[in-house]
Amino acid sequence: MLGWARKYGLRVNLDLHTIPGSQNGYNHSGKFGQVNFLNGQMGVANAQRALDYIRTITEFISQPEWKNLIPVFGIVNEALLHTIGRPQLTSFYLEAHDMIRGITGYGEGNGPYILIHDGFDGVPNWAGFLQGSDRIVLDMHPYFAFDGLPNDAPIATGTDPSKAGGIWPKQQHI
């Protein structure tokens, strides 16, 4: 995949979706159910394992062959902040940041931007996070499909519902 991206002039946002123990308990985290990353009986051990994987990936993507191809490294996708806890996640992010920058160096051109997820806590709650850190990017995923509200709006707008779009399948309007 990386060779293909290079061939076509693309850059890669390498986003680590699976963390040992699961950072969110969602099916795309590698383990559906409980959150056992920085939480539960094996939480700290799983965090250490995650740091080992992040270190290995950082060492790989910092090689001259890949360095300019991967400008962003998402180290934990969608960690459930309110389950894990802000102090625990902050400590993990700080340790990961320091480890990554210890490998890549500091400043522009020295390793990828470090992408962290907002933990579904909203951008304003992250103001001042890890002040003095080097090239941290906050990621957020506003999911409208899972907000508990009815999603019965037309697929596409227009004046003729028989054309592209129309009413969502199996939705009834009374």
pLDDT tens profile 118-147: 888 888 899 899 999 999 999 987 765 556
For residues 127 and 55, give the distance between their C-alpha atoms in angstroms, rounded to a whole number.
27
Rounded Cα gap, residues 87 and 92, in angstroms: 9
Structure tokens belonging to residue 112 = 């990828």
- The secondary structure of 65-78 as a DSSP string is TTTTT--EEEEESS
Q: What is the pLDDT of residue 27?
A: 78
Q: Which stretch of 66-70, 83-87, 161-165 has the lowest confidence by average pLDDT?
A: 161-165
Model confidence over 145-166: pLDDT tens digits? 556 666 565 555 555 655 555 4
- CA nearest 116: which of 99, 96, 102? 96
Q: State the pTM of this model.
A: 0.80
Query: Average pLDDT for residues 79-85, to the nearest whole number?
Result: 93
- Euclidean distance between CA atoms 8 and 173, whole angstroms: 47
Query: Sorting pLDDT into bands at 50, 70 and 90, what band is 33?
Result: confident
Per mean pLDDT, which range of 10-19, 22-31, 88-97, 124-133 is the poorest?
Answer: 22-31
